[in-house]
Homo-oligomer: A and B are copies of this chain.
């Protein structure tokens, strides 16, 4: 397991457990967090920590797939809140063993467009 694979796994695990000290220790002071779907950006570890501490709901995160190379990693995870759940992804950039950038995606379910029923099955 590469160092960045382990770093990404610890990010999700410590966030899920609200182990804020351990989670914060993975982040660069000037970490940049972005959500492209809302065009929101948070700059700096203190604000990013507060964002997660204040995020409402009894949410939990379960990693499904982690891929990492020497500079970047991605975690495809499942989030659950009460009886709701869906896939999400976090992309990480890393320097000096600390996370400098996190970009999250939160894809929502949608109805398949018509015209491809002859090729597709539903699951």
Contacts and interface: CB of A to CB of B under 8 A. Distances in A.
Closest 8 CB pairs of A and B: A38-B112, A107-B107, A105-B107, A40-B120, A47-B119, A51-B119, A67-B67, A67-B72
A56 B113 CA distance: 11
Nearest to A5: B69
A108 interface: yes
Copies of this protein in the assembly total 2
Interface in A100-123: 105-112, 115-116, 119-123
Q: How large is the interface on A (under 10, 10 to 19, 20 to 34, 35 or more residues)?
A: 35 or more
Interface of A: 2, 5, 34-43, 47-48, 50-51, 54, 56, 65, 67-69, 72-74, 76, 87, 89, 91, 105-112, 115-116, 119-123
Contacts of A42: 119-121
A80 to B, nearest CB: 15
B65 A67 contact: no
